[in-house]
Amino acid sequence: MSLAEVLSHIKVANPDDAGEIERIVTYFYESSPAKKGFAYQLFESLVVENRDLTFSRGAGGKMESTVHGYEITEYSKSFMENKVKISSNGVISEYTFAQALMHEIIHAVTGANDDGTPGADGIGNGGDYGMPANLTTPKYNYVGLTVALEQQIFAEAGIPNARASYHSTPYLNELENQLGVHMGESLTAGKEVGLVLLDDIAPLDTK
Ligand SMILES: [Zn+2]
């Protein structure tokens, strides 16, 4: 299989966006180790299963996709402006449109949702279930299925400072205004932490 075959299954409704979306797909495909890389396998599966992955701007107010429906139903570059991600060592870095689009592609192609797999006690969710009442709740999954795959893809691509959890993509101005910290700085003086930054300070979130 080849990149050209993968791109033949990428369908962009708005022709103005086709070039950029194809570049983003190409970047993640080519930065993933051939054959065994996760992004590589994800995109090759479009060819193997003969499925098209479609991109529509939709209302364009956020980033949204179908889970295992092979559709990015909404995307917005302006929504991603000034979005940042917080890594497990507290570092604030840009959460780019390309990175957020890859998150949506994971949903659309793999069927992973934003949730974690609950444990036997029913506890454990990184996504839409929100946060536990008590931050010391044991075995709570703050990451969820899709962000875990996103972390794996970013690691394979050599993208540093992947977001630590589902709830760690605030807007930069909120960090600057409310916490007085800036792009490239660490919230934890660079120390690796197990506690998660919430993005509840943000009115909107990518799904
Ligand atoms: Zn999501």
The total number of structural domains in the chain stands at 1
Residue 20 domain boundaries: 3-80
**Ligand 1 centroid vs 1 CA: distance in angstroms?**
28
Residue 182's closest CA among 170, 166, 165? 170
In a domain, 119, yes or no: no
**153 alpha carbon to ligand 1 midpoint, in Å?**
14
Contact 150, 106 (CB under 8 A): yes
- Centre of ligand 1 to C-alpha 110, Å, is 12
pLDDT per residue over 123-150, tens digit each?
A: 555 555 556 667 777 667 778 889 999 9
- Does 28 reside within a domain? yes
Q: How far is CA 50 from CA 19, 55, 100, 106, in A?
A: 22, 16, 24, 17
Q: Is 73 a domain residue? A: yes
- Rounded to the nearest whole angstrom, what is the distance from the C-alpha of residue 190 to the centroid of ligand 1? 26
Tell me: the pLDDT tens digits for 20-51?
999 999 999 999 999 999 999 999 999 999 99
DSSP string of 89-130, one letter each residue: T-BEEE--HHHHHHHHHHHHHH---SSPPP-TTS---SSTT-
Q: d(Cα 93, Cα 197) in Å, to the nearest integer?
A: 14
Residue 26 neighbours by CB under 8 Å, 6+ apart: 3, 7
Q: Is residue 36 part of a domain?
A: yes
Per-residue burial over 140-161, b = 16 or more CB atoms within 10 Å of its CB, e = otherwise: bbbbbbbbbbbbbbbebbebeb
Say how many Å lie between the CA of residue 134 and the centre of ligand 1. 23
The verdict on residue 52 lying in a domain is yes
C-alpha atoms less than 13 angstroms from C-alpha of 20 in its C-beta half-sphere: 15
Residue 21 located in a structural domain: yes
Query: 10-12 and 84-86: which strand pairing?
Result: unpaired
Span 51-93, pLDDT tens digits: 999 999 999 999 999 999 999 999 999 999 999 999 999 999 9
- State the average pLDDT for the chain: 87
Cα(52) to ligand 1 centroid in Å equals 20
**Distance between Cα 143 and ligand 1 center (Å):** 11
Q: 88 lies in a domain?
A: no
Q: How far is the CA of 120 from the centre of ligand 1 (A)?
A: 24
Question: What CA–CA distance (Å, rounded) separates 168 from 146?
Answer: 14
Residue 179 confidence (pLDDT): 86
pLDDT digits (tens, 9 = 90+) for 141-197: 778 889 999 999 999 999 999 999 888 898 999 889 888 999 999 998 999 987 655
CA of 18 to the centre of ligand 1 (A): 22
pLDDT at 41: 98
Query: Quick one: DSSP state of residue 8?
Result: T
Compute the distance from residue 164 Cα to the ligand 1 centre, in Å.
Answer: 14
Percent of the chain residues topping a pLDDT of 90: 67
Q: Which residues surround ligand 1, an ion (CB under 5 A)?
A: 114, 146, 207
Inter-residue contact 25 to 52 (CB < 8 Å)? no
Ligand 1 centroid to residue 182 C-alpha, Å = 25
Q: Alpha-carbon distance 33 to 114, whole Å?
A: 25
Between the alpha carbon of residue 56 and those of residues 53, 122, 193, the distances in Å are 10, 36, 38
Q: Is residue 90 part of a domain?
A: no
Instruction: Give the Å distance between the CA of 146 and the centre of ligand 1.
Output: 6
